Amino acid sequence: MIKRPLVKPAKLTLLEFLDKRMTLPAENKYYFLNLKKGYEGEVMFNTLTEKLSCDCHILNGLRFKFNNTIFQIDSMISTGQTLFMNEVKNMTGDYYYKDNHFYSINGEERKDPLVQMERASSQLRQLIHSLGFQVKVQPNVVHVNPEFTLYQAPQNAPIIFPTQLHRYVNNLNTISTKLNRNHDLLTERLISLHVEEDPYAQLPTYTYKGMRTGMTCGICDSFEITLHGKNGICRDCGHVETVEAIVLRNVWELKMLFPELKITTNLVFDWCGGAVSRKRISRILGRHCKMFGSGPWAYYVLED
């Protein structure tokens, strides 16, 4: 049973917005692409684990602060026997181990996923122990991408390769031990200890003026939208969406990128690239937001 669903990190959503509306500095672009790839890997792994039929609790993306260290666990599967901790990797290309170090095929040393996993599992064990629970933790590095190859992997290392993924999940399904009240308590405690990451912390500096304005497609992020009566049609992918939905989605984007700005008809008119009339914008905002003030000073607060 999924106790904590996989959610897209707000930081990734913000970076996607920024990436389409400005040129990200190289280091931020690299970070963004890595984050995106990592998340896609977690989505891939999640499609397998969400179908688990054994008695288990699935906990995705929990982040803890313990012993003055922040650590994140991509996926935990708590069963009656063992708590499986999965460090999910969506790596592509060829890698090898030599003298206990991890290298890409061109000989560059890389961050060793096994070391990362060891660190996180040690923290997790200590955390669980400090909460007063006795649970066996089994950590694994799980490689989900079929384009990943690893040479000279240390034998018996807790690595699940793409070719072993289905077997891994099938084996979990054979666990017949049931969860008890203690497992429920541990799950509740772990979820309650989650520390949300500040999504704005590692973003590049950006300003409203530096953004490309205009409405974008909800599917392909294209700015090429033609309005046709009630609908907007994407000229790149053909996606059709109501103008109302497009405006609201873009207002939500504006709100996330610039939480300090007051949402006014004029601001949204500009943000949408002047494609929708002020009158129509204020009607749409009026239907979905709380309005404060009046006349040219009116501003809107999006209702959740």
Q: Which residues bind Zn ion (CB under 5 A)?
A: 217, 219-220, 222, 234, 236-237, 239
Residue 115 vs 219, nearer CB to Zn ion: 219
Structure tokens at 175: 């666990």
Smallest distance, Zn ion to C-beta of residue 237, A? 3
In three-state secondary structure terms, 240 is strand
Residue 15 vs 234, nearer CB to Zn ion: 234
Residue 82 vs 222, nearer CB to Zn ion: 222
Dihedral sign of CA atoms 42, 136, 101, 62 in order: positive
Residue 118 vs 244, nearer CB to Zn ion: 244
Q: DSSP of 161-186, one letter per residue?
A: -GGGHHHHHHHHHT--PPP-HHHHHH
Rg for the chain (alpha carbons), in Å?
23
Residue found by looking up tokens 């993306």 in the block: 61
Picking from 201, 82, 183, 67, the residue whose alpha carbon sits closest to that of residue 133 is 183
In whole angstroms, what is the distance from residue 271 CA to residue 57 CA?
Answer: 43
What is the dihedral angle through the alpha carbons of 209, 215, 221, 224, rounded to the nearest 10 degrees? -110
Smallest distance, Zn ion to C-beta of residue 241, A? 9
Residue 217 vs 267, nearer CB to Zn ion: 217
Smallest distance, Zn ion to C-beta of residue 235, A? 8
Smallest distance, Zn ion to C-beta of residue 217, A? 3
Residue 1 vs 237, nearer CB to Zn ion: 237
Q: What are residue 114's phi and psi, to 5 degrees?
A: -65, -40
Smallest distance, Zn ion to C-beta of residue 145, A? 26
In three-state secondary structure terms, 94 is strand
Smallest distance, Zn ion to C-beta of residue 159, A? 39
Structure tokens at 86: 């999965």
